[in-house]
């Protein structure tokens, strides 16, 4: 059963798939090694909801902005996301064999290739934002680069991943998982997962030339949405099966990962998830009915099954 929201989400995913596929088109002449290109395609063109680019597109559309520049920005953040998944799946990180229902890059190719794929996808993301053909004006491109770099680097996603590894006990003398407090877990997750989701909304707001108050409202929305996404993901890991999710489940508890689901239990985590969806909805109040689709996105994130 479809709805205007699911149709828009699916249409955005198809559009993004076309944009991303064009980056690896066999007719393109460049000096990229064939094996690297094949592995990059494997990492990027494996389907998925394309939620982060969807957030860029729909937040920009909130202000009536569409077109090539928006799609380049949306593709850039999806490339960063895909790179992060390739590296997260490595044996030295989360050691996963399955991603989006297919073998992870290091399984389909090899570990060294997977590392280089992540490196190449990250740099390609910033190359897109700096591309003169993107339609982005220099001042907007510069701000988008800064937003994406902060969200994906040591202050954001990469820093969160380091905190996640530390929480597993990787760097402690005993090797035992750390007993993190609620605030520490929330900070870890806000960096590892939430920062890139918030960034997608902030990039859309910048493309839409939102004023200071509008940008703050959308930042608040993106923050709540990122937190909700992580809790929903942790609930899926605890309760769903690998066939439904498209990746291994039940690994958080086995590894001693620090999650709010593990700290609180499923019932309290679900209640907090509902509160976050309500916070995301409230943040959009200044936009009225114009933000209906973004409100539905928050509900979708809270109810997702894969």
Q: How far is CA 293 from the centre of its chain?
A: 19
Percent over 90 (pLDDT), the chain: 82
Q: Which domain holds residue 98?
A: 4-303
Residue 113: CA count within 13 A, CB half-sphere: 19
By mean pLDDT, which of 22-26, 81-85, 102-106, 142-146 is the weakest?
A: 22-26
Dump the DSSP string for 207-230: HTT--HHHHHHHHHHHHHHHHHHH
> At residue 103, what are phi and psi to the nearest 5 degrees?
-60, 140
Task: Assess whether pLDDT exceeds 70 at residue 47.
Answer: yes
Q: Report the number of distinct structural domains present in the chain.
A: 1
Q: Which residues pair with 99 in a beta bridge?
A: 102
Q: Can you give the CATH number for the domain in which 243 is found?
A: 1.10.600.10
Task: Assess whether pLDDT exceeds 70 at residue 28.
Answer: no
> At residue 9, what are phi and psi to the nearest 5 degrees?
-65, -45
Task: Assess whether pLDDT exceeds 50 at residue 245.
Answer: no
The model's pTM = 0.93
By mean pLDDT, which of 66-80, 198-212, 241-255 is the weakest?
A: 241-255
Distance from C-alpha of 228 to C-alpha of 298, rounded to nearest angstrom: 8
pLDDT of res. 218: 98
Alpha-carbon separation of residue 19 from 160, 181, 225, 274, 285 (angstroms): 29, 42, 25, 34, 32
175 vs 124, residue with greater confidence: 124
* Mean pLDDT within 47-58: 95
pLDDT of res. 101: 86
By mean pLDDT, which of 33-37, 71-75, 143-147 is the weakest?
A: 33-37
Distance from C-alpha of 21 to C-alpha of 70, rounded to nearest angstrom: 17
Residue-wise pLDDT for 220-231, tens only, equals: 999 999 999 999
Task: Name residues whose C-beta falls within 8 Å of residue 284's C-beta, 6 or more positions apart in sequence.
Answer: 217, 221, 291, 294, 295
Report the mean per-residue pLDDT for the chain. 92
Q: Which residues pair with 98 in a beta bridge?
A: 103
> At residue 18, what are phi and psi to the nearest 5 degrees?
-65, -45
By mean pLDDT, which of 240-249, 259-268, 288-297 is the weakest?
A: 240-249
pLDDT of res. 240: 58
């Amino acid at each position: 059963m479809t709805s205007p929201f699911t149709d828009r989400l699916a249409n955005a995913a198809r559009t993004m798939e076309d944009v991303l596929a064009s980056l690896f088109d066999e007719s393109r002449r460049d000096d990229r090694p064939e094996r690297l290109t094949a592995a990059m395609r494997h990492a990027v063109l494996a389907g998925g909801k394309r939620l982060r680019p969807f957030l860029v597109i729909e937040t920009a559309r909130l202000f009536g902005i569409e077109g090539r520049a928006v799609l380049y920005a949306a593709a850039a953040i999806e490339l960063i996301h895909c790179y992060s998944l390739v590296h997260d799946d490595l044996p030295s990180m989360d050691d996963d064999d399955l991603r989006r229902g297919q073998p992870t890059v290091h399984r389909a190719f090899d570990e060294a290739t997977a590392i280089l794929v992540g490196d190449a996808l990250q740099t390609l993301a910033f190359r897109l934002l700096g591309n003169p053909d993107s339609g982005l004006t220099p001042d907007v491109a510069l701000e988008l680069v800064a937003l994406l770099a902060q969200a994906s680097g040591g202050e954001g996603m990469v820093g969160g991943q380091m905190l996640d590894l530390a929480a597993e006990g990787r760097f402690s003398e005993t090797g035992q998982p750390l007993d993190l407090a609620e605030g520490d877990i929330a900070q870890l997750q806000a960096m590892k997962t939430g920062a890139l989701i918030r960034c997608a909304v902030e990039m859309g707001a910048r493309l839409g030339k939102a004023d200071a108050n509008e940008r703050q409202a959308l930042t608040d929305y993106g923050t709540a949405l990122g937190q909700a996404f992580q809790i929903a993901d942790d609930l899926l890991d605890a309760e769903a099966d690998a066939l439904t999710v498209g990746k291994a489940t039940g690994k958080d508890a086995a590894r001693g990962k620090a999650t709010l689901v593990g700290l609180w239990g499923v019932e309290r985590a679900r209640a907090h998830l509902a509160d976050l969806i309500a916070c995301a909805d409230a943040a959009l109040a200044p936009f009225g009915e114009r933000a209906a689709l973004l409100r539905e996105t928050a509900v979708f994130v809270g109810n997702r099954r894969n």
